[in-house]
Chains A and B, each alone.
Chain A
Amino acid sequence: MKITFDWLKDHLSVSAKEEKLIEKLTDIGLEVESVENLSEGLGLFKVAKILKTEKHPNADRLKVCDVDVGEKEIKKVVCGAPNAREGLITVYAPPGAVIPKNKTKLVIAKIRDVTSYGMLCSESELNLSEESDGITELSSSKYNKSIGKSFFTQSSSNLIDLSITPNRPDCLGVRGIARDLAASGFGKLKQIKEQKIKSKKSQTVKVKITNEKNQGCFSFGSCLVTNVKNTESPKWLRDKLISIGQKPISAIVDITNYVMIDINRPLHAYDADKIAKGIIVRNSKFGEEFTALDNKNYKLKDDMCVISDDKGVLGLGGIIGGTRSGTEMDTQNVLIESAYFDPRSIRKTSKELNIDTDAKFRFERGIDQLSIEEGLNKAAFLIKEICGGEISKIDIQKISTFKNQIIKFDPNSFEKVTGFKVLTKDMLKILDNLGFTCKKDKKIFKLTIPSWRPDITQEIDVVEELVRIAGYDKIKMEEPIKERKKSTLTQTQKLFHFLQRSVASKGYLEAITWSFTDAKYNDHFKGQNNELKIVNPISSELGVLRNSIFSNLIMYMSKNIDRGFKDLSIFEIGPTFFGKQPGEQNIIVCGLAAGKKSRLSWLEKERNVDVFDIKKDVVQTLVEVGYDSEKFFIDDETPNYYHPGKSGRLFLNRGKENVAAYFGEIHPNIIKQIDMKTESLVGFEIFLDNLKLPKKSLKDQKTKYSVSDYQKSERDFAFIVDKKIKVQDLVNVISNVDKNLISNIKVFDVYEGDNIPENQKSIAISVTIQSQEKTLKEADLDQINKSIIETVENKTGAKIRS
């Protein structure tokens, strides 16, 4: 909502400065978005007279004009307008002036070798009208004596842009804002005596509201003004509209706009002669069409509220009028409409047709149902004053009668909610100033709600009004109590934070990427999931919910590599989605590492990051979280976006209940398809929701402390096994030989090739043997040795290497 202080003063007696106004507006909840000086620099634009025109020596279409701008010196101005002619009084902009339309600043310029000092302006360039076919023509009788004077009346009033919250339709009119200000002690609301129509002439255009289900129009007031002469608006009206950044169009249109902005009463003006046999306000039928004033053709659905005549739809009630019945400069008889439309109906229709207009904006927030006559009175008299003609009686059709709401208000509820006291008499004063009428019933107020406040329906709404006007600065500050009754984080939340920092501590940079992604990338990583499309994405590249974090992470990894970073690790912890219902999402920790280890190192040989690097990160992270790596079970069943031979699936135990993590090289085909330039790319996904919380808390785990001080022995074995045998199984077999004595098992060599039969491999293992109870004798060790070899050979078909 745009206003000026000057316009406010039509309704408010006030002597304060604009600064105070801005502060006050904000204090009472009418947020000031911006304050702009529209007329800044407009003083430079002068009324000027063309003394002489010559053809431009180097351009057929240009003229060089001698212009009298009221100074001694005659200005030479190059002008292309066909109407530039000797004797024309027009508007001159000197170098330095900023053209209102396109905000360009004029400079002294050579146009085809002739220097032009400034410019002669069209109405369009001055934002006066759409007229751009020639320079402004001012009537010589009116302006002859003004040569050299400023064309624009200097307004000291800035354009104030307010952000009015949707609950305050009353403040979409200047008067409503003035009322709020007055209630808060900023000035006094002027009592404006309403001039009422006392005509004997009847309104001859018949109006009917059909009484049908879902009728969106509750009442329709109208007034006919006959024998008018539509014209340009007088200066005061044009200035008023220009002052809030609107363009004057014609007197009739300007008047309806003026009334709408002044008292938030939207009106519509019809050319009465174009209405065929009266107006019917009814529900539309599917397929009906009409051309609206925005020059678009709309196809209607069922049950939209339309204003129609015998020939069809004239306009959408409360939203937009049609071209067929619009007023024009030659309109002779004007029918003014002042109606009330149901906000829900307005909203539904405008949403479906995607139309946004000033009227719609106001009606969907709720217009004062009792302002129908006021609007007609105001508009009709202005039309008569400016365009002449005769005013008819007001006609009002309605299908329901408005009654002011009455609500009970307990003044004690104010302190209960706000924590501070306001005296009852002060409450009454505020409410009175806001237009409430109040009857005291013992300690309870019975409040009649003003018709312009549809937002007030219950006690709490009244509390809000009171505290808003009394001032939020009166709310006392209650210091919070430092007391915790419940732990801040749940176990799962702690796990989240721990995982996040654990992964980061391994050299990964945490990224946060969109929860949506490019379907093209998602395709690679969606696995068994369905694509989850967003109906109205911001762009097609962000068209689906991500099934995996990899899609985004790999895209950004690629961008970073393109920036010249070769060796980096990034991760994200966040949601992925497997369905479109709330809760069909998982929290994943997803990481990617690219490039090499020890690149360009004088110490160590460089090598690609590989699956065992990423395995280490995953295992270490899970161990740090508190899981026992001895119990982990790993196999190679991984989703298709991993390298089938160099990736793994990790379970927290052999029960294989839920996948704790995947890790491995990213499938080379994907790297190729997305054209990523890296030596190596490995990644992992840890499924937070699948991590069962350790049964014992860390606190419990710490209590049991037992170590053995008896001597430990290490024994090395080399087995030749079938290539298909997994080391994990071999280790498991060995550890099960004697869980009490075998305390550690290490694989220190894997070898295939010379001296080893085809399809077999040699695995060298070091086993640490230690008792909790005694020092083992040589015989005990030999016994264990023997059983290790026997068990391994029996269970895996391995052969000990001699």
Chain B
Amino acid sequence: MSDIKNIRDQFVSKLKNELSLDEINLIKTELFGKNGQISSLFKTVGSIPESDRKSFAADLNKIKDELQSLISEKIKEIETKEISQKLEKERVDITLPGRSFVRGKIHPVSQTIDEISSIFSEIGFSVEEGPDVENEYNNFTALNTPDNHPARDMHDTFYLDENKEVLLRTHTSPVQIRTMLKDKPPFKIIAPGRTYRSDSDQTHAPMFHQVEGLHIDKNINMGHLKGCLNYFIKEFFEVEKIKMRFRPSHFPFTEPSAEVDIGYEIKDGKIVIGEGDQWLEILGCGMVHPNVLKNVKVDPAKYQGYAFGIGIDRLAMLKYGINDLRAFFDCDYRWLNHFGFDPLDVPTNYRGLSR
């Protein structure tokens, strides 16, 4: 017994020293090698008198286990240390720049169109489209704006032929005509798109964007129009309350017609929508003129409803504080990068329109 204890004490104290992997392996051999001290003791088990054998073997096993686990702990310790040393050597300057990435952006007009579609989707409008090149009939005549009518002067039109029969649409209203000719009432659509007028200065661009709205059903009146636009403006500007003013106006294709102003004020150089006593015109609307309904074979005695046209670029400017309309189409990298939206930023109803 004392032999065993001596061996244990001797090696336990040895293993307490700072050791290399080789030295440990040496100890391991000294103990458990073919002629190792523990191995040799095991060989003597048979010669131990029967009465002591059991306790001797038990003691020996206990010490074997103890020493073995001490050795493996020690090895683990050394390995850990070696790995740490290795890792320490591999240390980099983590403040160096990572691999570069580029960020694409969505144009504010596209983003605004998605916002508008999302809002109107909620109250049951679907999206329609029409061509940029229109015939004179769809753009004017069908919309109760006959030739030789001064209302045509309200639009400076780009023509594609000398007879003035084909043109670049001056508004999105011809989509109303196309939609109503194609389908049967009721109609509840919006139509965003490019529009063109031969007008170019600080506040006018020869191309801009409009969204048309049309809701035709039985008994749709001006109250619905007001409610719809009030809802839209509130949602679009993401404000609780909106100051809105309907002003009588005139468009040949609607009657009665209105222009809609929203209240705003300038606070710290920024425009605040929905407050203040300044008015800003943002859209035109009205009840679809019976002549228009007749032109598209909808019976005005049975059906009536409203239409509106909103300048998308204007809305984007107001919401996102963009001052210059011309810059929308100038494609300046800095501008696009600044005012553009991350492609993952898809406007939705549940998440909200904007971050």
A contact residues vs B (CB 8 Å cutoff): 26-29, 31, 165-168, 343-344, 347-348, 364-365, 416-420, 458, 460-461, 463-464, 467-468, 472-473, 475-490, 493, 497, 500-516, 532-539, 542, 545, 552-553, 556, 559-560, 563, 565, 567-570, 574-575, 577, 580-585, 598, 601-604
3 closest A-B pairs by beta carbon, nearest first, are A29-B248, A419-B223, A165-B250
CB pair A31–B104 under 8 Å, yes or no, is no
State in angstroms the CA–CA spacing of A460 and B230 once bound together: 24
A419-B221, A513-B331, A536-B159 given; name 17 further pairs at CB < 8 Å: A165-B250, A166-B150, A166-B151, A166-B154, A348-B148, A364-B150, A416-B221, A419-B223, A464-B248, A475-B222, A475-B226, A480-B123, A504-B104, A505-B104, A511-B336, A512-B329, A560-B333
Chain B residues with Cβ below 8 Å from A418 are: 221-223, 256
A489's partner among B103, B122, B126 (CB-CB below 8 A) is B126
State in angstroms the CA–CA spacing of A477 and B255 once bound together: 18
Nearest CB to that of A467 among chain B residues?
A: B256
Q: Does B11 contact A (CB under 8 A)?
A: no
User: What's the nearest-Cβ distance from chain A to residue B162, in Å?
Assistant: 6
State in angstroms the CA–CA spacing of A420 and B225 once bound together: 13
> Which of B150-178 touch A at CB < 8 Å?
150-151, 153-154, 158-162, 164, 166, 168
Q: List 12 A-B contacts (CB under 8 A).
A: A166-B154, A417-B287, A478-B224, A485-B188, A486-B188, A488-B117, A488-B126, A535-B164, A537-B198, A559-B332, A563-B334, A582-B166
State in angstroms the CA–CA spacing of A136 and B151 once bound together: 44
CB pair A582–B138 under 8 Å, yes or no, is yes
Nearest CB to that of B227 among chain A residues?
A: A478
CB pair B102–A507 under 8 Å, yes or no, is yes
Chain B residues with Cβ below 8 Å from A508 are: 104
State in angstroms the CA–CA spacing of A467 and B249 once bound together: 12
> Which of B103-150 touch A at CB < 8 Å?
103-107, 109-110, 114, 117, 120-127, 129, 131-135, 138, 148-150
Classify the interface of chain A: helix, strand, loop or mixed.
loop
Q: Does B304 contact A (CB under 8 A)?
A: yes
Chain B residues with Cβ below 8 Å from A563 are: 332-334
User: What's the nearest-Cβ distance from chain A to residue B149, in Å?
Assistant: 7
Known contacts: A347-B148, A416-B221, A513-B329. The answer to whether A486 contacts B132 by CB under 8 A is no
State in angstroms the CA–CA spacing of A382 and B201 once bound together: 44
State in angstroms the CA–CA spacing of A581 and B132 once bound together: 10
Chain A residues with Cβ below 8 Å from B206 are: 514, 516, 538, 542
CB pair B158–A582 under 8 Å, yes or no, is no
A473's partner among B138, B246, B333 (CB-CB below 8 A) is B246
B contact residues vs A (CB 8 Å cutoff): 96-97, 99-107, 109-110, 114, 117, 120-127, 129, 131-135, 138, 148-151, 153-154, 158-162, 164, 166, 168, 188, 194, 196, 198-200, 206-207, 219, 221-224, 226-228, 230-231, 245-250, 255-259, 287, 289-290, 304, 328-334, 336-337, 340, 343-344, 346
A515's partner among B153, B168, B249, B259 (CB-CB below 8 A) is B168
User: What's the nearest-Cβ distance from chain A to residue B144, in Å?
Assistant: 11
CB pair B247–A26 under 8 Å, yes or no, is yes
Chain B residues with Cβ below 8 Å from A542 are: 206
A535's partner among B103, B159, B290, B344 (CB-CB below 8 A) is B159
CB pair B124–A483 under 8 Å, yes or no, is yes
B99's partner among A464, A582, A603 (CB-CB below 8 A) is A603
CB pair A29–B122 under 8 Å, yes or no, is no
Nearest CB to that of A602 among chain B residues?
A: B96
Nearest CB to that of A503 among chain B residues?
A: B104
CB pair B149–A514 under 8 Å, yes or no, is no
State in angstroms the CA–CA spacing of A773 and B96 once bound together: 50
CB pair B104–A507 under 8 Å, yes or no, is yes
CB pair B161–A535 under 8 Å, yes or no, is yes
User: What's the nearest-Cβ distance from chain A to residue B94, in Å?
Assistant: 13
Chain B residues with Cβ below 8 Å from A512 are: 107, 109-110, 328-329, 331
Chain A residues with Cβ below 8 Å from B103 are: 507
Chain A residues with Cβ below 8 Å from B222 are: 417-419, 467, 475
User: What's the nearest-Cβ distance from chain B to residue A777, in Å?
Assistant: 41
User: What's the nearest-Cβ distance from chain A to residue B353, in Å?
Assistant: 15
Known contacts: A167-B250, A478-B226, A581-B133. The answer to whether A501 contacts B194 by CB under 8 A is no
User: What's the nearest-Cβ distance from chain A to residue B300, in Å?
Assistant: 9
Chain B residues with Cβ below 8 Å from A479 are: 227, 231
CB pair B331–A511 under 8 Å, yes or no, is yes
User: What's the nearest-Cβ distance from chain B to residue A60, in Å?
Assistant: 45
Chain A residues with Cβ below 8 Å from B100 are: 598, 601
Nearest CB to that of A30 among chain B residues?
A: B248
CB pair A501–B250 under 8 Å, yes or no, is no
CB pair B106–A510 under 8 Å, yes or no, is yes
CB pair B194–A574 under 8 Å, yes or no, is yes
CB pair A166–B133 under 8 Å, yes or no, is no
Chain A residues with Cβ below 8 Å from B334 are: 563
Known contacts: A509-B104, A538-B200. The answer to whether A583 contacts B131 by CB under 8 A is yes
A569's partner among B104, B158, B207, B221 (CB-CB below 8 A) is B104
State in angstroms the CA–CA spacing of A458 and B154 once bound together: 23
Chain B residues with Cβ below 8 Å from A344 are: 148
User: What's the nearest-Cβ distance from chain A to residue B155, in Å?
Assistant: 12
CB pair B228–A515 under 8 Å, yes or no, is no
Chain A residues with Cβ below 8 Å from B226 are: 475-478
Chain A residues with Cβ below 8 Å from B250 are: 29, 165-168
CB pair A577–B246 under 8 Å, yes or no, is no
User: What's the nearest-Cβ distance from chain B to residue A563, in Å?
Assistant: 7
CB pair A165–B249 under 8 Å, yes or no, is yes
CB pair B126–A480 under 8 Å, yes or no, is no
Chain B residues with Cβ below 8 Å from A585 are: 131-133
Nearest CB to that of B158 among chain A residues?
A: A534
State in angstroms the CA–CA spacing of A488 and B257 once bound together: 27
CB pair A460–B290 under 8 Å, yes or no, is yes
CB pair A460–B289 under 8 Å, yes or no, is yes
Chain A residues with Cβ below 8 Å from B162 are: 535
State in angstroms the CA–CA spacing of A533 and B159 once bound together: 9
State in angstroms the CA–CA spacing of A534 and B164 once bound together: 11
User: What's the nearest-Cβ distance from chain B to residue A514, in Å?
Assistant: 5
A481's partner among B123, B166, B248 (CB-CB below 8 A) is B123
User: What's the nearest-Cβ distance from chain A to residue B112, in Å?
Assistant: 11
User: What's the nearest-Cβ distance from chain A to residue B236, in Å?
Assistant: 14
Known contacts: A479-B227, A515-B132. The answer to whether A565 contacts B158 by CB under 8 A is no
Chain A residues with Cβ below 8 Å from B126 are: 486-489
Chain A residues with Cβ below 8 Å from B255 are: 460-461, 463-464
CB pair B289–A482 under 8 Å, yes or no, is no
A493's partner among B125, B127, B168 (CB-CB below 8 A) is B127
Chain B residues with Cβ below 8 Å from A487 are: 126
Nearest CB to that of B259 among chain A residues?
A: A31
User: What's the nearest-Cβ distance from chain A to residue B96, in Å?
Assistant: 7
State in angstroms the CA–CA spacing of A612 and B194 once bound together: 33
CB pair A501–B154 under 8 Å, yes or no, is no
Nearest CB to that of A507 among chain B residues?
A: B102
User: What's the nearest-Cβ distance from chain B to residue A373, in Å?
Assistant: 26
CB pair A480–B224 under 8 Å, yes or no, is yes
State in angstroms the CA–CA spacing of A552 and B154 once bound together: 29
Chain B residues with Cβ below 8 Å from A581 are: 133, 166
User: What's the nearest-Cβ distance from chain B to residue A592, in Å?
Assistant: 11
User: What's the nearest-Cβ distance from chain B to residue A410, in Å?
Assistant: 11
Known contacts: A515-B168, A582-B134, A582-B166. The answer to whether A501 contacts B346 by CB under 8 A is yes
Known contacts: A477-B230, A536-B159. The answer to whether A504 contacts B132 by CB under 8 A is no
Chain B residues with Cβ below 8 Å from A467 are: 222, 248, 256
CB pair A480–B289 under 8 Å, yes or no, is no
Known contacts: A167-B250, A416-B304, A460-B290. The answer to whether A506 contacts B138 by CB under 8 A is no
CB pair B127–A475 under 8 Å, yes or no, is no
CB pair A458–B290 under 8 Å, yes or no, is yes
CB pair A570–B106 under 8 Å, yes or no, is no
Nearest CB to that of A510 among chain B residues?
A: B107
State in angstroms the CA–CA spacing of A509 and B110 once bound together: 12
State in angstroms the CA–CA spacing of A582 and B336 once bound together: 31
Nearest CB to that of B232 among chain A residues?
A: A480
